[in-house]
Copies of this chain bind each other. A is one copy, B any other.
Amino acid sequence: MLTIARFAAGTALVALTATAARADEGMWTFDAFPAAKMRAAYGWAPDQAWLDKVRGAAVRLTGGCSASFVSDAGLILTNHHCVATCAEDNSTASNNILKNGFTARAREQELKCAGQQAEVLTAIRDVTPQIKGAIGNATGADAVKARNAAAAKLESDNCTDTAKTRCQVVSLFGGGQYKLYTYRKYSDVRLVWAPEAQAAQFGGDPDNFNFPRYSLDGSFLRAYENGQPVSTPQHLSWNPRAPQDGEATFVVGNPGSTQRLLTLDQLAFQRELSLPITVTTLSELRGRLIAAMAQSPERAREGAETLSGLENSLKVNIGRVKALNDPAFMARLAAAEADLKRLSAANPAIGNPWADITAATNAYRAFYVERNYSQPFSDLYQYAIILVRAASERGKPEADRLPGYSNSVLPLAQKRVLDPRPITPWLDELKLAWSLSKAREYLGADSPQTKLLLGKESPEGLAHRLVSGSRLADPAVRKALWDGGAAAIAASTDPMIVYARSLDANDRALQKRYDAEVDGPLTAARAKIADARFAAFGDSNYPDATFTLRISYGKVQGWNERGVPVPTRTVMGGTFDRATGAEPFDLAPAFAANRARINKNTVYDFVTTNDIIGGNSGSPVIDKAGTVIGAAFDGNIHSLGGNYGYDPALNRTVVASTAALDEALRTIYPAPALLAELRKK
């Protein structure tokens, strides 16, 4: 599944893209769609009206997914796995809607999704001169501060109505360009329809990132404002038809992050240092969760979504390790870097930014583990640290605040803290104990930071004391602390607040060191490499993904797996052949019950050559006519290396077809009103 990884440890160094994009490669911004290139390959390309139309219907979900409006009444198509947390939050021991599925019989039954916000991109404006001008000749931490302050001011000045709009300065090409993105935002998003999780996740972790696939990974949400569904005349038309082999497809969504053409030293940093820690520690968390969930059906329910997201992140990171350990793949990246260096050698203005990146990366090696483990992993802790910091940052001039607390970001941070959602104490305690234990393991028992984190307590003992003693699970308590500001935070004796206060200074110091030794030098070096890239390749390339709106073109096409062709599609009847009766290959109950009625020949899932990555989950798959024929929900196993580079022969997008969703709405999880709304012209 292609959500933003919620479990990524540490902060990835930002990367650049060099060399011209290959066939069907590219996550293009809407202000730089390569129409000529597509026309040359496909004999057709969308015009500006087409692009404007789909842009206006495309939705970013702040939970880490993509989506699209598919009716004029704010109806949103996305993936099931993008609404699973919402379904879990709205489940109870007596009504497990994640497991049983959900159909709102009337609008007033639609269920609020905590922390979720829908955003539609309305404008893109170049602000490169303003940001670069603000940085001027500053270096290190000063450059970072100047950049962040200038961005925050642009955002504040251009989106004064923070209830309905959001501004975001996006750094593209690693600092080669800065663009101001303006969004219409909808901060009340509700669940309309979801199938049984077993239908959406059929095959579970074993089938995730694999194909052929039999997954009904689609769901519907609705955007509300002032308690009413919003009007969305600019929506995509629902087209429940079968995809045709070879037909052109567009994926419009928000790829979260790619790291294509990191310098080789940055790749070595990941391969040698950060990825082994990430994979090793997440694997242990996975084991802890699996065993804890095996204790009771209630725990199995409460942990399901966390485990699913974790296993997804783990597979992504294991795929990255594999890619970085593939000599042929690495040789291609090395050749591209050598190529760009060669092309830039005659240009004295470029200098040797690669050496600067080497130095910054090596500097980071010295404190990566400290920064990675400066704060523990826990929902309650997350509330606490945001409350502590918001109280302190809100009182400062915007230019002096931490990046996450500028005026443009605060409303979403506030919403995330204050929205009611259930906290599961055993689960939060498990995560907290795990992360504290791994901190001690990697920092060492004698490190000052371990002593700061643990004092004389054990990871398990501390986690239990904090989670059982904190009252932050109560939204009213959080609201009182938010509203009370610095005085309330200073006076609080809530153990999680006390703990967050105790860790704050060390984390800020590490961030400052990171700004000075890593981010500052990288910002300067990356801008130079971007210049080298523009000089060598002009505008024939696309920036690395930034969880902002992109469009990818491609086509319906399979691939060859060790010489064996993989088909482009599955049909719904295949589910019954694949089912073993044992989870995760057990049939969803509604599939079993409606077996005779389901049209077995309905196209279920299909693959395309579109170039996407985590964050694209839920993206509409659009045909030339501009109608939606599916929701992208996954990549194939080869696409995991897509973080570093796209291979047109192997990388594929996996799509849940609108045909299958339509069939489900008719015969498996009947929702006549929803069907009527989708079909309304």
A residues engaging B (CB < 8 A)?
Answer: 203, 205-207, 210, 271-273, 276, 279-281, 283-292, 294-295, 318, 321, 325, 430, 434, 440-441, 444-445, 456-458, 460-461, 580-585
Contact = CB atoms under 8 A, between A and B. Distances in A.
B287 A207 contact: no
A462 to B, nearest CB: 8
A266 to B, nearest CB: 15
A582 B210 contact: no
Nearest to A441: B206
25 contacts: A205-B441, A206-B441, A207-B445, A210-B444, A210-B445, A272-B325, A276-B276, A276-B279, A276-B318, A276-B325, A280-B280, A280-B318, A283-B283, A283-B287, A284-B286, A284-B290, A287-B288, A287-B290, A287-B291, A288-B291, A289-B291, A291-B291, A456-B580, A456-B581, A457-B580
A289 B283 CA distance: 12
In the A-B complex, the 9 residue pairs with the smallest Cβ-Cβ separation, listed nearest first, are: A287-B287, A291-B291, A283-B283, A458-B582, A287-B288, A284-B287, A272-B325, A456-B580, A206-B445
A280 to B, nearest CB: 5
A455 B431 CA distance: 34
A271 B582 contact: no
Nearest to A203: B445
Contacts of A273: 325
Given A289-B291, A291-B292, A580-B456, A325 B283 contact: no
Nearest to A582: B458
Contacts of A276: 276, 279, 318, 321, 325
Given A205-B441, A287-B434, 4 more contacts: A272-B325, A284-B290, A291-B292, A458-B582
Q: Taking the full assembly, how many copies of this chain does it contain?
A: 2
A313 to B, nearest CB: 13
A330 to B, nearest CB: 10
Nearest to A457: B582
A582 B444 contact: no
Nearest to A212: B446
Contacts of A292: 291, 294
B291 A458 contact: no
Interface centre among A207, A281, A445, by most chain B C-beta atoms within 10 angstroms, is A445
A280 B315 CA distance: 11
Contacts of A585: 445
A302 to B, nearest CB: 14
Contacts of A440: 206
Contact of A430 (B291, B444, B582): B291
A48 to B, nearest CB: 45
Nearest to A637: B444
Nearest to A280: B283
Contact of A271 (B203, B206, B294, B325): B325
A123 to B, nearest CB: 45
Contact of A456 (B445, B460, B582): B582
Nearest to A442: B318
A312 to B, nearest CB: 13
A216 to B, nearest CB: 18
Given A289-B291, A291-B292, A461 B284 contact: no
Contacts of A283: 279-281, 283-284, 287
A290 B289 CA distance: 10
Nearest to A315: B441
A609 to B, nearest CB: 23
A560 B441 CA distance: 21
A625 B445 CA distance: 38
A205 B427 CA distance: 24
A304 to B, nearest CB: 15
Contacts of A583: 458
Contacts of A581: 456
Contact of A284 (B210, B271, B284, B444): B284
Contacts of A456: 580-582
Contacts of A272: 325
A263 to B, nearest CB: 15
The winner among A283, A286, A457 for most chain B CB atoms within 10 A is: A283
Contacts of A434: 287
Contacts of A288: 287-288, 290-291
A284 B581 CA distance: 26
Nearest to A293: B291
Contacts of A457: 580, 582
A458 B205 CA distance: 13
A210 B444 CA distance: 9
A325 B365 CA distance: 13
Contact of A280 (B279, B295, B582): B279
A458 B207 CA distance: 14
Nearest to A290: B288
A365 to B, nearest CB: 11
Contacts of A295: 295
Contacts of A294: 292, 460
A44 to B, nearest CB: 37
Nearest to A581: B456
